[in-house]
Amino acid sequence: MGASLNDVAKLAGVSPRTVSNVVNDFVHVRESTRARVLAAIEELGYRPNISARRLRQGRTRILGFAVPELSQPYFAELSELVELAAQERGYTVIATQTGGVRENELRVLRDLGSHIVDGLIFSPMSMKKEELYEQPPSVPTVLIGEQISSSKYTSVAIDNVSATADITRHLLDRGHRRVAALGAYHSDAYRSSRLRLAGYRQALDQAGLPSDPELVLYTDRFGRRAGLECVTQAWNDGIRFDALVCFTDLLAFGAIRALADLGVRTPEQVAIASIDDVQEAEYSVPSLTTIAPDKQGIAASAVDAVLALLDDDTRAPADIAIDYRLVVRESSGR
C-alpha cells in the first residue's frame, strides 16, 4: 500500500494541512518547510490522490491532449509544445491517440474528462461535423487543426485553404503547369484534407488552369508509405506531372522516395512542396519546401483557450487563426 498524506506529514514533522499546501503549490509556505515536505514525499514515494483532490477543489490541473497518432512527427512536436505551454500555466498534460478511428474519437470526447482531466485539446480526424455538433464534450474542449464555424467548439488552426493555395502558387510561379495534389481523402470526414484540396483548386483557378481530376491523388493514410505507394501507382499508371503539392510532409517524404526509385529527379523533373514543416523537412534529401505553421502559437493558444473556458464556461466559441509561413528549400528548386 502506498504512503498517505499523513505518513508524509509525520516524517516531515508538519501537519497534514501543510503537506496539502505544498502538494497544491500554495505560495504561503516557508521554503525550509516546503523543502522538508518535498524530501519526505520523495523518500516515501507519495502520490497525491487526484480524484480526491478534484472533489475538494473542482480541478485536477491536468489537461488532455488527443490526436490521431503521437508517432507522427507533427503531433509529437506539437505534444511537446502543448506540454510546455501547460507547465508554464501550472498544468500537466495527459496525451492519448485515437488512431483517427471514429469510435475512439467519440469515446475521448465523451469519457476522458469524466475521469481525470479539466479540459481537452482535441484533433479529430474521422468524426463528421454533425457528430461534433451533437456530442456534448464532458469537459471544456478546444479543437486543433480544424476550423468549424458556427460550432460549439473553439478551434485553433492555420487557414488550410490559404496555406495550400500559397504553396500551389509557389509552384505555379516557377513555371510548373502539371501540378498534382497528393492527400485527397476518399471520405468527407477529414476536413483538413478537404480544405487543402480546396486551396489547391483555388490557386489553379486563379492561374486560369483547369483542375484535372487525374492529378488529384487520393489516399486514406498520410504517412511516408502512403506517399510512396500512391505516387508509384500514379506514375506506373502513366499519370505525369511536373510538380506535386503534398498535404503533409510525411506524404512528401514518401513521394520523394518513390520518384527516386522511378529514376525521376526532384526538383529537376518534379518539384515538391508540402505542409507541416516537421524537423525532418530541413534534413531530408532534398530538403523540403513546406508551409510552417506557428506550432508554438497553436500550443499556447489552445492551452489558453481551454483555461479561459474553465474560468468562464459561457464564453462564446471562436475560430482562432494561427500564422504560418512558406519555407523555401531544395525540393521546389531554389
Q: What is the CATH number of the domain that holds 31?
A: 1.10.260.40
Q: Note whether 252 and 193 are same-domain residues.
A: yes
pLDDT per position as a tens digit, 3-25? 788 888 899 999 888 887 787 66
Residue 147: per-residue pLDDT: 56
Q: Which domain holds residue 108?
A: 62-158+295-324
Q: Note whether 173 and 72 are same-domain residues.
A: no
Residue 58: per-residue pLDDT: 62
pTM for the model stands at 0.80
Residue 50: per-residue pLDDT: 52
For the chain, the average pLDDT equals 89
Give the count of domains, the chain.
3
Closest CA to 234 of 300, 178, 173, 166: 178
Considering the domain boundaries, does residue 302 fall inside one?
yes
Residue 109: per-residue pLDDT: 82
Considering the domain boundaries, does residue 280 fall inside one?
yes
Banded model confidence at residue 55, pLDDT cuts 50, 70, 90: very low
User: What DSSP designation does 288 have?
Assistant: P
Q: Note whether 173 and 234 are same-domain residues.
A: yes
Mean pLDDT of 151-178: 94
Cis, bond preceding 267 (omega within 30 deg of 0): yes
- pLDDT exceeds 90 at position 200: yes
Show the cell assigned to 1: 500500500
- pLDDT exceeds 60 at position 203: yes
Q: Note whether 193 and 312 are same-domain residues.
A: no
Q: Alpha-carbon distance 165 to 189, whole Å?
A: 21
Considering the domain boundaries, does residue 331 fall inside one?
no
Q: Note whether 154 and 301 are same-domain residues.
A: yes
CB neighbours (10 Å) of residue 87?
12
Q: Note whether 171 and 274 are same-domain residues.
A: yes
Closest CA to 322 of 287, 285, 283, 296: 296
- pLDDT exceeds 70 at position 82: yes
Assess contact for 258 and 228: CB atoms under 8 A: yes
Banded model confidence at residue 234, pLDDT cuts 50, 70, 90: very high
Mean pLDDT of 315-320: 86
Q: What is the CATH number of the domain that holds 93?
A: 3.40.50.2300
Give the H or E element holding residue 143. strand 141-144
Assess contact for 120 and 66: CB atoms under 8 A: yes
Q: Note whether 164 and 231 are same-domain residues.
A: yes
- pLDDT exceeds 50 at position 314: yes
Mean pLDDT of 70-93: 94
> Which residues on adjacent β-strands are paired with residue 155?
143, 319
Residue 188: per-residue pLDDT: 67
